[in-house]
Amino acid sequence: MKFGLSEDQTLLDATVRRLLADQIPLDAVRRYAEGDGDQENWNALCELGLGGVLVPESAGGLGLGILDAAVLAEALGYYVTPAPFLGSAVLFPRALTQAGLSEVEPWHGRLGEALSGTLRVGVALPQAGGQRGRDGVQAAGQALSGTVTLALDDAAQAYLVGADDGALWWVGADAPGFTREAFETVDRTRRSVKITLSECPATLLSQNPAVLADLRAVAWVMLAADTLGASRAMLEKAVAYAGEREQFNRPIATFQAVKHMCAEMAAEIEPCTALVWYAAHCQDHLPQEAATTAGHAKALLGDVGQFVAKTATEVHGGMGFTDLVGLHYWFKRIGFNRQCFGNPQRVRAELAELQGW
């Protein structure tokens, strides 16, 4: 049995990485961190097809699976790319598919808008994040009221909103009673907002809590894959720097302590690849294992990413904290991924409850 990526997946990964390296280098990330928007980046990625990775072929998308999306998420994490991939390209089409709405108008048409990049869909799932215990959204008829402290994508035209009863709703950013304000996090490669709903008109997508649970599991996999890519980038940068930086007239890579630090990072990262791939595979093909494998991937990558971020920065010494190297973009992105949708401790506690422990 061969356990690995297919030729098509490998080709897709290589193509996306070439585009990211050429069109969205670190300087573009810096400009976004200083206040520029990311729509131009997203348009370039959508032209390559990333916006339609999970969109059915009937709507003009690629019709691929969660494993393909995870491969792309790893590439985006490797280049710390500012882009609304998680909400617009992954969770929105996944939600419609799970709710049985992907072939129903107006949602079928909106999928076409999303894959072209003209429609951006954010994510506001308070019960899945665990960031603030006071968060919550309640429904009264076709209106929502409540607060989501950490919602993804500050430029979205609409949001997927999870209610306290497990229902999933669609809320337009221009709806009456909807307000959002910037919510600053450590991550400068993605922007979050705080959303407040006051008797805000909304459209019900699903009353089945299983749909919301599925979105959480998929989000766990995507964040784990993003952290995996960022961790690989930090390791490679640490190894390259150790080979160039000299002390006592010799590269620091020749020092045993530095060798051990790089080797430990590599040893921690390598097993994570198979776990992320398997967790992604389970989302489409092994539903009975989907939640547990996704949770384990999210929790493990949260810990491994934290270790790699810390160790790679130490290898760089004082240079690791400067914007000249830019290592802090990966460091902070890993930190955000660790907390978003639950930190490792919270995720493991939920997995224990899920398994009856």
Confidence of residue 311 (pLDDT cuts 50, 70, 90): very high
| Options 1.20.140.10, 1.20.200.10, 1.10.3980.10, 2.60.40.420; CATH of 210-354 | 1.20.140.10
Section 290-310 average pLDDT:
97
* Domain 122-207 indexed as CATH 3.30.310.50: no
* Class of domain 7-119 as given by CATH: mainly alpha
Residue 5: band (very low, low, confident or very high) from pLDDT cuts 50, 70, 90: confident
Selection from 163, 161, 139, 151 nearest residue 92 by Cα: 161
Determine the pLDDT at residue 1.
Answer: 42
Q: Beta-carbon neighbour count of residue 57 at 10 Å?
A: 10
Tell me the pTM: 0.95
Q: Mean pLDDT check: name the lowest of 3-12, 98-107, 228-237.
A: 3-12
Please give the single-letter amino acid code of residue 292.
T
- Nearest alpha carbon to residue 89 among 56, 51, 139: 51
Number of alpha helices (DSSP H) and beta strands (DSSP E) in the chain = 12, 10
Decide which of 254 and 162 is more confident.
Answer: 162
- 322 pLDDT more than 90: no
pLDDT at 126: 76
pLDDT at residue 321, as a whole number:
78
Mean pLDDT, residues 243-262 taken together: 86
Residue 245 has pLDDT above 80, yes or no: yes
Percent helix, percent strand, percent coil in the chain, to nearest 5: 60, 15, 25
Angle at alpha carbon of residue 28, lines to 25 and 31, rounded to 5°: 155
Burial 242-279 (b: 16+ CB within 10 A, else e): beeeeeeeeebbeeeebeebbeebeebbeebeebbbbb
* pLDDT computed for residue 2 by the predictor: 62
User: Considering the chain, what is the average pLDDT of its residues?
Assistant: 93
56-68: average pLDDT: 94
Tokens at 303, concatenated: 């810990």
Q: How far apart are CA 102 and CA 37, in angstroms?
A: 29
Helix axes 287-316, 209-244, angle to 10 degrees: 30
What ranges do the domains of the chain cover? Answer: 7-119, 122-207, 210-354
